[in-house]
Structures are given as structure tokens and as C-alpha cells.
């Protein structure tokens, strides 16, 4: 690049261009195309996420949150559009294990110890035993359960199991973490504690997160941006910025600005519902 080009305001091009963590462009997803059971799960989805960002997806059941997450993970293919993860096609990113995933159920293998559960993705990558053990220990420190390596999953509480699931998802140090309602089965106090822990872990590791939730306060507390979606067909109706700063604590939950953002997301969700009702009337 010439010195002149570098001094202009235009974004850098070529190798200097910062790589998005995730880039979703014009994506649609139709299930059961051409059949009576046809579902337009997602239409016209555009979303760019920068490295280190925490983005939540929120919207009523059936609006396509899980489908969007599964598309980014390349567990299903889009009907139209393109998805790039860490600058690569989503399929390449999946094959190279550039992301970790966590779900509502921790999904630990009951016959494997906690350490062996965390080591699983590393076994799949062909790491040797000593290196796997060392990384499992490091991850147990990260999630603050260093004394539980040799326990079996049933010996842990729900919140502890969910920490192990996060440790496993992050064991290979993927740049991206995809989470589908991971705290949905936890009681409110444990849930708030896990939210704070997740923010700490992400700050320590620099991980980018896409987080699906039904909870407005959870989305606002965790996120840099909240993506509001509406169903039939699933689309993004609004993206709410949450500039509450990087250091979020229990005090954040009592902050007027926090409540302001909750109201803004709630109204965006109502707006999406209203659009839907108006459309229903038109369709009649
Ligand atoms: P959400 O996670 O927001 O509740 P989903 O992404 O699970 O929504 O689903 C979006 C829509 O796509 C729903 O109408 C759902 O029934 C439909 N859907 C999801 N997965 C499939 C599938 N494998 N086959 C057919 N329809 C599906
Ligand atoms: Mg879902």
C-alpha cells in the first residue's frame, strides 16, 4: 500500500484489513424447501462481529436464534448468503475447530472425569496426554474449580457442570464461543454469578462470544450489542448498543443506565411483535 493510500480515511484494504470474528452476509435459511412443511427460518440476515465483542441474540421462541448459531457453527448450511468465521468460510472454521459451543444442558459425559471431559476436544485434535492434562488443569483454574479434576459430573452442582462445559468449549483456546441459552436451567442467583464469571473469563481470554438468551437483563448485562429478532420469517429487527463499559459488576445491575437499556431492548422486542401483528392483519 502506498503512503498516500495509507493516509486517507478509507478503511485499510488487503492484508492490513482487520479480520471480523464473524461475518454474516445476506443469509437466509429455509427448512423443508418445496414441501408443505416449508419454514422460512431466517431471511436477509446481515451481522458483522468484531474480535473480542460480546453479542447476544434475543427474540421470541422460533425466531431462528438457534438456527443462526448453528449456521455460524456450520452445523447446517444456509439456503442463501455467506458466512465467514475468523476470515474463513464457516466450514473451514468448523474443521479447524475455531469455535467452542455450550448449550443449556452441560452435556458432560457421565463416565468421564471432569478433567477427561475438558480434554475431549484436545483428544480430537490429537494432543498428547501430558499436554492435554496441563491444559485441563489450566482451564480448571480459569473456571475456579481446580480441585475437581478427578470428580465425576454427577458430583457437581448444575452451575459447576456449566463451568466445566465452558472450560471444555474453551480448552483448545478457540477465538469464538457460541452459547445457546447456557444458563437457562440455572436458578437466578447462580445465573447472575455465572454471568459475571463468563465476563471475567472472556476478558482474560479475549474470546468473542455470541450468546442466545430469552432474558433481557441477561442480554444487557453481558453484551456490547443486543441483536433483536422477530419470527415468521426470522429476521433482525434492531441492534441495540450497550455502552455500559467493560467493567461490569453487581453495581451495574442497579445502574440507571442498565435499566434504560433494558427498556430499550424490551421496546425493540415489542416493536418486533407489533410488526408481526400488523403483518398478520394484512395477511388476513
Ligand atoms: P429459536 O432458537 O429462536 O427458538 P429455532 O432456530 O430453533 O428458533 O427455529 C426457527 C424456526 O425454524 C422454527 O419455526 C423451527 O420450528 C424451525 N426449525 C428449526 N430447525 C428445524 C429443522 N431441523 N427442520 C425444520 N424446521 C426447523
Ligand atoms: Mg433455540
Per-residue pLDDT tens digits for 230-251: 998 999 999 999 999 989 999 9
Residue of 59, 62, 69 with the most ligand 1 atoms within 8 Å of its CB, for mutation:
62
pLDDT for position 91: 98
- Of the listed ligands, the closest to the CA of 234 is 1
pLDDT for position 282: 45
Ligand 1 proximity of 89 Cβ (cutoff 6 Å): no
Give the residue whose CA is nearest to atom 25 of ligand 1: 31
Give the residue whose CA is nearest to atom 5 of ligand 1: 64
Q: Which CATH superfamily is domain 3-98+174-282 in?
A: P-loop containing nucleotide triphosphate hydrolases (3.40.50.300)
Ligand 1 proximity of 61 Cβ (cutoff 6 Å): yes
pLDDT for position 240: 98
For the chain, what are the domain ranges?
3-98+174-282
CA–centroid distance, 24 to ligand 1, in Å, is 18
Using CA atoms, how far apart are residues 84 and 24, in angstroms rounded to an integer? 7
pLDDT for position 188: 92
CA–centroid distance, 141 to ligand 2, in Å, is 30
pLDDT for position 6: 44
Note the pTM of the prediction, 2 decimals: 0.90
pLDDT for position 19: 87
CA–centroid distance, 272 to ligand 1, in Å, is 18
Of all atoms in ligand 1, which is nearest to the CA of residue 180? 2
Which residues are bridge partners to 212 per DSSP? 57, 180
Low-confidence ranges of the chain (pLDDT < 50): 1-8, 10, 281-284
Ligand 1 proximity of 37 Cβ (cutoff 6 Å): no
Residue of 27, 41, 76, 276 with the most ligand 1 atoms within 8 Å of its CB, for mutation:
41
**Residue 187, C-alpha cell as written in the block:** 436458578
Residue of 29, 35, 39, 78 with the most ligand 1 atoms within 8 Å of its CB, for mutation:
39
Amino acid at each position: 500500500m502506498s503512503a498516500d493510500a495509507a493516509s486517507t480515511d478509507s478503511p485499510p484494504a488487503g492484508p492490513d484489513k482487520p479480520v471480523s470474528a464473524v461475518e454474516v452476509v445476506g443469509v437466509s435459511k429455509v427448512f423443508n424447501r418445496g414441501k408443505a412443511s416449508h419454514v422460512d427460518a431466517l431471511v436477509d440476515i446481515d451481522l458483522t462481529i468484531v474480535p473480542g465483542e460480546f453479542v447476544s441474540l434475543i427474540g421470541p421462541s422460533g425466531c431462528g436464534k438457534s438456527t443462526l448459531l448453528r449456521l455460524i457453527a456450520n452445523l447446517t448450511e444456509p439456503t442463501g448468503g455467506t458466512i465467514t468465521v475468523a476470515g474463513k468460510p464457516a466450514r473451514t472454521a468448523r474443521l479447524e475447530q475455531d469455535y467452542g459451543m455450550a448449550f443449556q444442558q452441560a452435556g458432560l459425559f457421565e463416565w468421564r472425569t471432569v478433567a477427561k471431559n475438558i480434554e475431549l476436544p484436545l483428544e480430537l485434535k490429537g494432543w498428547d496426554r501430558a499436554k492435554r492434562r496441563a491444559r485441563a488443569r489450566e482451564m480448571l483454574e480459569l473456571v475456579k474449580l481446580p480441585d475437581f479434576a478427578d470428580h465425576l459430573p454427577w458430583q457437581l452442582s448444575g452451575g459447576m457442570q456449566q463451568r466445566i462445559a465452558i472450560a471444555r468449549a474453551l480448552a483448545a483456546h478457540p477465538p469464538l464461543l457460541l452459547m445457546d441459552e447456557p444458563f437457562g436451567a440455572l436458578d437466578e442467583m447462580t445465573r447472575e454469578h455465572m454471568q459475571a464469571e463468563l465476563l471475567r473469563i472472556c476478558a482474560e481470554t479475549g474470546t468473542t462470544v455470541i450468546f442466545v438468551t430469552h432474558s433481557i437483563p441477561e442480554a444487557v448485562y453481558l453484551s456490547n450489542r443486543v441483536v433483536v429478532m422477530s419470527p415468521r420469517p426470522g429476521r433482525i429487527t434492531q441492534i441495540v448498543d450497550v455502552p455500559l463499559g467493560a467493567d461490569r459488576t453487581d453495581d451495574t445491575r442497579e445502574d440507571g443506565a442498565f435499566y434504560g437499556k433494558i427498556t430499550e431492548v424490551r421496546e425493540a422486542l415489542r416493536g418486533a411483535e407489533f410488526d408481526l401483528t400488523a403483518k398478520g392483519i394484512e395477511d388476513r
